[in-house]
Structure 1
């Protein structure tokens, strides 16, 4: 099996150790941290009910438990402690557009590995984790559950969807699954306060996708992992090139001026994409698939 084109189970299982090199997701409270050591990572109270105790002068009346007070005929208040677990939800693009890479590995392989690393990170932290892995024609949804329950299923989804891509190549039939449709279906299963990681090249990011991400951002933290190949930065100064995409083919001679225009165009597209996502509160991490994934994640996660 060519590891540059598809992942295997051994690779995904080996990510367990490497996942320990990653820091916690944005805002996550690391295991063993003392209460008050970091600000709450929840958007809201960020507290769990702990116990009841009798009301004492000076207590916040908003904490009175009226049911207990009525039952016991004396004022009681609810005590809380800081919530230390945060659900993690992974949205992983395994469409044909991701089956591209000029060196090292394809974008689809890099996305599967990063998703595996984040899933194993949840395992180590004991956080509930869910996922939606999708291809051009379908998707597989796993709701947030304990990592012991969900991790094996998520790894199976990553394996199956990733390994189908080489079998389908060079089939370039139009995709029926879009980023916006995936976000629409996934949002219903993502609990409030979750950390959401979207792994894609975002080639079909549109106004509907932005609106769905903005709505999700109002109740969750979102990180976008934009997978990209840096071919535009490594083009030769001149030469004959050929390209094909969805049935369209083109051959052209590369000149220094054309090389510069290609670089400027792709750089501008990536910059505009980042601005659109940042504007709605999404944390953007651009991941070059040929470079060390762990080092890039350590900078951005």
Structure 2
């Protein structure tokens, strides 16, 4: 099938590639895809478990002073360190994502990246949730065991991506914003989850930033910014042709115009990254014309 859209078999075939993802530092937070683990140990874990008598070598910071005073002998607190981090994927399949200068569209690249992350979550036994949205509708699945949510997510990615290709170039009567999608997702995202947002973030406005700030206080958030690298490949002179909805246009490039286009896009990506970084969100730029798995392995 054309790179303009994905199919379910294509997403199923990514299962083996997902095993090659090594979660390099800086790309996926430690433990984000590590599965559900609970280790009984002393320490400042998340969940209090029980009290027991102090033993030589115990960390004195774990002494429960109220119990110690009441029983007149040292007692320490024990914790179950909660290491589970559910995975939630928010995937943009709006018309603005249906763009490519060569190879696959931003929407197709987002669908494939989401499938890779979902398969990695499945291999590690993590709970998985998702929200896939286009300009008018969305499909939402709360975090559950991946054996139930992964097939549904692959169906959603296939349906929304193919529907986008079929509807192009018809403009929707209304456009669902990133902030509206985030608002719908909030109630389905458990505290402490790792949230991956796959979009071009073209409408990263004040409402969206406010919702991301709220989400960041509860979860670890990574932004996967999909972009086409046309601006890095523009010739200094020549003709640039574009088509949309059966209409075509061309622009005569000059050295100055190519430089202006390049700087405009570089500046927009830099502003996006600065805004997201200020919210405490890690930014991963993914070039749709390059191998996605290799970029994930490098931690881009």
- The alignment's TM-score, normalised by the length of structure 2, stands at 0.85
Tell me which residue corresponds to 2:283: 284
- Alignment match, 1:195: 194
Over 3 Å counting, the alpha-carbon distance change for 1:200 and 1:251 in structure 2 is: same
Question: For residue 127 of structure 1, what is the aligned residue in structure 2?
Answer: 126
* Alpha-carbon shift at residue 200 of structure 1 (Å): 0.2
**Match among 31, 51, 54 for residue 28 of structure 1:** 31
Q: How does 1:151-230 map to 2 (within 5 A)?
A: 151-173=150-172, 175-230=174-229
- Deviations, residues 259-300 of structure 1 (Å, cap 9, x unaligned): 111001111111111111011100001100011111111122
Alpha-carbon distance in structure 2 between the residues aligned to 1:249 and 1:184: 37
Count of residue correspondences: 284
Structure 1 runs of 4+ with >6 Å offset: 31-36, 75-78, 244-249
CA RMSD of aligned residues (A): 3.0
User: Which residue in 1 is equivalent to 2:111?
Assistant: 112
Equivalent of 2:63 in 44, 60, 64: 60
Q: Say whether the 8 Å CA contact 1:90–1:198 is kept in structure 2.
A: yes
Distance in 2 (CA, whole Å) between partners of 1:174 and 1:86 is: 38
1:64-107 CA-partner distances (Å, limit 9, x unpaired): 6xxxx9xxxxx997632222221000000001111111112111
CA distance in 1, matches of 2:283, 2:120: 19
Which range moved further: 246-255 or 84-93?
246-255
Q: How high is the TM-score relative to the length of structure 1?
A: 0.85
Contact 2:231 2:265 survives alignment (8 Å): yes
Task: Tell me how far 1:33 sits from its aligned partner.
Answer: 9.6
1:83 is aligned to: 82
Describe the SS at the equivalent of 1:103.
coil
Distance 1:62 1:208 in 2: 46
Runs of 5+ consecutive residues of structure 2 not aligned to the other structure: none
Residue 142 of structure 2: aligned partner: 143
Q: Measured at CA, do residues 180 and 34 of structure 1 come closer, stay the same or move farther in structure 2, by a change above 3 Å?
A: closer
Closer/same/farther in 2, CA of residues 246 and 264 from structure 1, 3 Å limit: farther
Pair 1:223–1:33, CA change in 2 (3 A): same
Using a 3 Å threshold, how does the CA distance of structure 1 residues 245 and 210 change in structure 2: closer, same or farther? farther
1:9 positional shift: 1.2
Gaps of 5+ in 1: 70-74
Kept in 1, the 8 Å contact 2:88–2:195? The answer is yes
